[in-house]
Amino acid sequence: MPGMQTTINDNGAWCWFQDERALVDPANNTLLVGSVAAPGGAGGDRRGGNIEVAVLDLATGDSQVHVVHTRLEPDDHNAPALLIRPDGRYLAMYAKHKTDNYSRWRISTRPHDASEWGPEEHFDWTELAGGRGATYSNLHRLAAESRVYNFVRAINDDPSLLVSGDDGTTWRFGGKLFTRPKIGYVNGYTRYCGNGTDRIDLITTDHHPRDFNNSIYHGYIRDDALHDARGQVVSKPLIGSPGINQAALTTVFAAGTDIDGDILTHGWTVDLRRQGQDLAAIISCRANDVNGPLQREQPLDVDDHRLLYARFDGRQWNLHPLAAAGPALLPHEQDYTGLGALDPHDLNQVYISTPIDPRTGQATGHYEIYRGRTRDGGATFGWEAVTEGSAVDNLRPMVPPGDPSTHAVCWFRGSMTSSQDYATDVVVLH
């Protein structure tokens, strides 16, 4: 497909529960992509664990990599969330993968310039979280409130929040979104999408799909309250809340849903985007898992994952098959897939990573990236290849927000054996 493909970082990867990991700064026509370097990649141990921001000049194709924190921890969960403050300076927040209790942040020294950063600050979760560790950063600013939210997995491994009234210079504890008795590893995997003005939408699971047959729920934050999809307040005030059961929200995907004869279970949140009044999501799940949930005495049947496309029509969520996602990406992470991304400027367009060509249903030698378009609200998609015949895997695409006139797609490519062990570089098609 047309466009220029550029490698902007020769050692980097990300998890998918931090946002925005990539964004376009329209003030200088640049793309910023946050990632974590691994010891198995370029630069080896001296670079492994670096928290980095690659900056691409979209006009010239030139790029530079800037280090935000040297050798923090080699783990893709530590990828930074990025935000452009009203004064033009960049805010980067990041946390380790439950190996300490800090949410860290730095602010760029100059507006629209990621080459230098101010001193690192941190928020200590120890007393609040009982030393269980913090993970993930998700930054969303609401102009109507003059407030920035950072959503972190912290207390009881629940989605918890920090709030800032000075655009990320200082932070205070803001309460919890959800809570329930923990089953297995963690409570609730949540994706967020803010409109920048007065609303943050979210989709979330029950627990980890390895430990629980997840459904997926939708709600939104506005006016210091958590609402379900129809606008009913389910928790108020939000700031200072002890958290509620996420099942109080609106169900997007119910575990055990039958679509075209396939029984779909163990849902996981992949992406969520809003365009104007429209809202769409991508979900991953297992198809026809014959062992059922929580039957650990038998090998898990995880050789058939699916991606689903969900569209909210203002009254309800409509769920459609999107593509086959193949077997588990990693043998010890039974529900990892190549993932997918919605175009934030056109919800009828998606990008997916899969080892099964959606045009033919045939397996490919490696995970490839495909672009899909729908003209009927997601009921059907037409596909074209972004990558073909690759010698390595192409994983976890993103379509950065920030400037509707600029279109870019990011992913990383190479080999990945775990969240801590990979040799991948970051690629942008623009």
State pLDDT tens for residues 274-327: 998 899 999 999 999 865 554 444 445 568 999 999 999 988 999 999 999 999
In angstroms, how far is CA 190 from the centroid of its own chain?
9
Return the pLDDT at 391. Answer: 98
Nearest alpha carbon to residue 30 among 107, 115, 101: 115
pTM for the whole thing?
Answer: 0.96
The total of other beta-carbon atoms located within 10 Å of residue 20's CB is 25
Confidence (pLDDT) at 297: 47
- pLDDT at residue 291, as a whole number: 57
- Contact between residue 323 and residue 361 where contact means Cβ atoms under 8 Å apart: no
According to DSSP, the residues that pair with 384 across neighbouring strands are: 371
What's the confidence (pLDDT) of residue 1? 62
Domain hosting 299: range is 5-429
Residue 212 confidence (pLDDT): 94
Where the chain has pLDDT below 70, the residues are: 1-2, 290-302
Q: What is the pLDDT of residue 136?
A: 98
Q: How many domains does one find in the chain?
A: 1
Per-residue exposure over 304-324, b if at least 16 CB sit within 10 Å of its own CB, e if not? bbbbbbbbbeeeebebbbbbb
CA angle (253 as vertex; 376, 23 as ends), nearest 5? 70
Under a CB-based contact definition with an 8 Å cutoff, are residues 66 and 55 in contact?
yes
Q: What is the pLDDT of residue 145?
A: 97
- Report the CATH number at residue 65: 2.120.10.10
